[in-house]
Structure 1
């Protein structure tokens, strides 16, 4: 799956890694639901860091559509809340 981190680039993430990303996505949703800024910041950083860790960077000049778009690291809680779908940022 091609995942874009806004303002940063794209990563090719293996399907086997999506379960761990979904767990982090659930933590992010929970933090947004409670309005806990500290937990939100930790969850967002954790999710993006895990995408960077498990994903293989896609060449910047490659024209590959993103299947999933994640917010930038400096996004605020309201911005991310507006990006959430019924299944969070990462569909199950």
Structure 2
């Protein structure tokens, strides 16, 4: 799956890594629902850090379509809330 982190670039993430990312996505959703800025910030950082860890960066000039777009590390709760779908940021 091609994942774009806004403001950073694209990474190729293996399907096998999606369950762990979904768990982190659920934690992020819970933090948004609670409105706790500190918990939200930690959850967002954990999700993005894990995507960077398991993903393989694509070249900057790559024109692959992104299957998933994640917010930048400095996104606000309201910005991320607006990006959430029925299944969070990461479907599945």
Quickly name the TM-score band, shorter chain normalised. over 0.9
- How many residue pairs end up in the alignment? 92
Runs of 4+ in 1 over 6 A off after TM superposition: none
Normalising by structure 1, we get a TM-score of 0.99
- 2:69 corresponds in structure 1 to 69
- 2:50 corresponds in structure 1 to 50
* 1:47-80, Cα deviation, whole Å (9 max, x unpaired): 0000000000011111100000000000000000
- 2:21 corresponds in structure 1 to 21
* 1:7-47, Cα deviation, whole Å (9 max, x unpaired): 00000000000000000000000000010111100000000
Report the Cα distance in structure 1 between the residues aligned to 2:48 and 2:17, rounded to whole angstroms: 13
Report the Cα distance in structure 1 between the residues aligned to 2:62 and 2:77, rounded to whole angstroms: 31
- 2:8 corresponds in structure 1 to 8
RMSD: 0.3
Report the Cα distance in structure 2 between the residues aligned to 1:41 and 1:90, rounded to whole angstroms: 17
Normalising by structure 2, we get a TM-score of 0.99
Task: Structure 1: state its 5+ residue gaps.
Answer: none
